[in-house]
Amino acid sequence: MSEEEKALQILQDNYQEDNIITLEWKEHIRRRPGMYIGKLGDGSSSDDGIYVLLKEVLDNSIDEYMMGFGKTIEVKIENESVTVQDYGRGVPLGKVKDVCSKMNTGAKYDSKAFKKSVGLNGVGIKAVNALSSNFTMVSAREGQSKTVSFSKGEVLIDSDLEQTSKANGTRIEFTPDPEIFGEYHYREVHIEPLLKNYCFLNIGLTIVFNDKKYTSKNGLVDLLNENLTDEELYPIIHLIGDDIEVAITHTNQYGEEYYSFVNGQHTTQGGTHLVAFREATARVIKEFYARNFEYSDIRNGIVAAISIKVEEPVFESQTKTKLGSKEMEPNGVTVNKFINDFLKKELDNYLHKHPDAVEILQKKIQESEKERKAIAGVTKLARDRAKKANLHNKKLRDCRIHYNDAKGDLLDETSLFITEGDSASGSITKSRNPNLQAVFSLRGKPLNSFGLTKRIVYENEEFNLLQAALNIEDGMEGLRYNKVIIATDADTDGMHIRLLLLTFFLQFFPDLIKKGHVYIFQTPLFRVRNKKKTIYCYSEEERINAIDELGPNPEITRFKGLGEISPNEFANFIGEDIRLDKVTMKKEDLLKELLEFYMGKNTPERQTFIIDNLVVEEEVVA
């Protein structure tokens, strides 16, 4: 028998009746948590699993509010344990245990009880239960209450009905299981936007988080005002109809910026409703002006939000970040027609009634058109140059996989490291995962692009090739990497290059940052080791702790640059334990003033600031 035949026989012998396993509901969730909550994470990113657990619980309370029950939701997080109390109808007492522990069980299958709800598959709260070391649900309903408690999905307490004076409602307490999530920490910076969005989408709702109140009077107008990082060119257009609300304005920033929601769920990856909204908005504006404007010129600089309510929505994943529904309700009007008809009437009416906004918007469109035509010549030349360069592009060591073959969605794990020089890019290239990690090598310091027009993106070889590598010339839809990682040396030159790259992205592709795609790569400053153990340290405090741990006279190495770290060592830093700081933008950042001060022509002021804030680093002796 050949080696191949032997291998096939082994596989045959290992595939028998006793190899077929049926997992209990909780065990399936605990073994495959990614199927239910996406990635796990440690709480450092807004899409980490612990926030999905919180959202699954909150969604149930929001659904109660949307059905007209309970105007206040209380959220408390203490020592990584979460409590969510609503004042809705309360879970029917005879079904409290089932809704926590029986898959495909819930009232949201019945449209009479819940219309246009977020959670339709009867899975969410069970996933929270199965992935929590402690989970308790208490339902109060018409003077009686019922309590059930679990640990990792196993029942601990199933109480009898009790009399209570508490108001109707449901309280859920849970602690994400460290066995699943490892060391994690809830961060307010990720929780606050989630709670604010719930309030923006539900005017009149109050959410109290650790005694701090959130509410909204103006819906999506408040949402845009919360997220604008550039001054609006005209007052926000706010349109509300049955099952739809939109808010639209323009700024002088490049690109397009959208916030889309379905039944209160933030669809961060868009979907059928966002596609329809982008198309319909541009079409209505074009028809209003009766000019042959390009859609790209109409949408350049747009900042907008859309929220729709759909009966029995179909999402493309359990985490509900992309809408797949084509109809507003079973056998009903299509999402595309519904949105188009609404905007064709309401947006057109608004434009007829507000000539000041019309004049400002037309000027913005014409400016975008003028700039596009001005760079049309260099654009074609630059595209051709980029295509030719990419065939033999030594600057880009691409990865093999970018998208999920099944759906064509960008894979979360795909990364592009932007490095300085051949030595650093060579080390990363040799130690990376070639399937999912790409490397782009800069040649020296990039140009300071502050105050320049987009023409420079095509005329400057570095920017042109970087844009081509990212595939973002026509918008974020073509982005080829989920994480764009700036990996420069931890010295003044490296910091300068980092700032120049951030200026480039902020100037021409702000949505790349606003959508959470840009990161700063943290590399160790020190290596502390003895014959038994090696510890990499990212700060002076970590270096001191490492010396204390390893005892007297360990070998201490200070890394001066990425190129000094061998490929073998680099593999320790760009795998599962990679340290990344996400670059974020908030309205309070005063972006325009920030860039003007740090990257503008006010050299004397900046020099004074640097001198006044200069910190001299002490040399560390190995």
The C-alpha atoms of residue 446 and residue 452 are separated, in whole angstroms, by 14
The C-alpha atoms of residue 281 and residue 351 are separated, in whole angstroms, by 12
pLDDT above 60 for 389: no
Strand order in the sheet with 257-262: 237-241, 244-250, 302-308, 257-262, 265-266
Distance (Å) of CA 514 to CA 107, 268, 449, 452, 510: 36, 11, 19, 21, 6
Give the tens place of pLDDT for each residue, 325-356. 788 776 678 999 999 999 999 999 999 999 99
The pLDDT confidence band at residue 6, using thresholds 50, 70 and 90, is low
Count of CA atoms in the C-beta half-sphere (13 A) of 478: 10
Average pLDDT over residues 117-131: 72
Residue 621: per-residue pLDDT? 41
Quote the pTM value.
Answer: 0.80
Domain 220-372: which CATH number of 3.30.230.10, 2.40.110.10, 1.10.260.40, 3.40.640.10: 3.30.230.10
Q: Read off the tokens for 426.
A: 């060579």
Q: What is the mean pLDDT of the chain?
A: 85
Residue 8: per-residue pLDDT? 60
The pLDDT confidence band at residue 384, using thresholds 50, 70 and 90, is low
Distance (Å) of CA 319 to CA 118, 308, 528: 11, 18, 41
Task: Identify which has the larger pLDDT, 617 or 450.
Answer: 450
Average pLDDT over residues 186-205: 93
Q: Read off the tokens for 326.
A: 């084509």
The pLDDT confidence band at residue 113, using thresholds 50, 70 and 90, is very low
Closest to 467 in 3D by CA, of 404, 379, 408: 379
Q: Is 616 helix (H, G, I), strand (E, B) or coil?
A: coil
CB atoms within 10 A of CB 160: 6
Range 28-214 classified under CATH 3.30.70.360? no
Specify which residues 419 forms β-bridges with: 441, 487
Highest mean pLDDT of the ranges 168-172, 387-391, 411-415, 597-601? 168-172
Residue 14: per-residue pLDDT? 59
Alpha-helix runs per DSSP H in 295-354:
295-299, 335-353
Task: Identify which has the larger pLDDT, 363 or 13.
Answer: 363
Distance (Å) of CA 436 to CA 68, 106, 427, 429, 620: 47, 39, 16, 12, 36
Residues 6+ apart with CB under 8 A from 355: none
**65 in Cβ contact with 118 (< 8 Å):** no
Q: Read off the tokens for 538.
A: 């990212």
Q: Whole-angstrom distance between the N-terminal and C-terminal Cα of the chain?
A: 61
Residue 567: per-residue pLDDT? 83
Give the tens place of pLDDT for each residue, 274-325. 999 999 999 999 999 999 999 999 999 999 999 999 888 887 765 677 888 7
Residue 541: per-residue pLDDT? 92
The C-alpha atoms of residue 273 and residue 328 are separated, in whole angstroms, by 10
Q: Is 212 helix (H, G, I), strand (E, B) or coil?
A: strand
DSSP state of 395: S
pLDDT above 70 for 381: no
The pLDDT confidence band at residue 21, using thresholds 50, 70 and 90, is very low
Residue 115: per-residue pLDDT? 54
So where are the chain's domains? 28-214, 220-372, 376-523+561-612, 526-558
The pLDDT confidence band at residue 110, using thresholds 50, 70 and 90, is very low
Residues 6+ apart with CB under 8 A from 333: 327
Residue 445: per-residue pLDDT? 86
Pairing of strands 257-262, 302-308: parallel
Domain 376-523+561-612: which CATH number of 3.40.640.10, 3.40.50.670, 3.30.70.2190, 3.30.930.10: 3.40.50.670
Give the tens place of pLDDT for each residue, 79-93. 999 999 999 999 999
Give the tens place of pLDDT for each residue, 400-448. 998 877 666 788 889 999 998 777 888 888 899 999 999 999 888 888 8
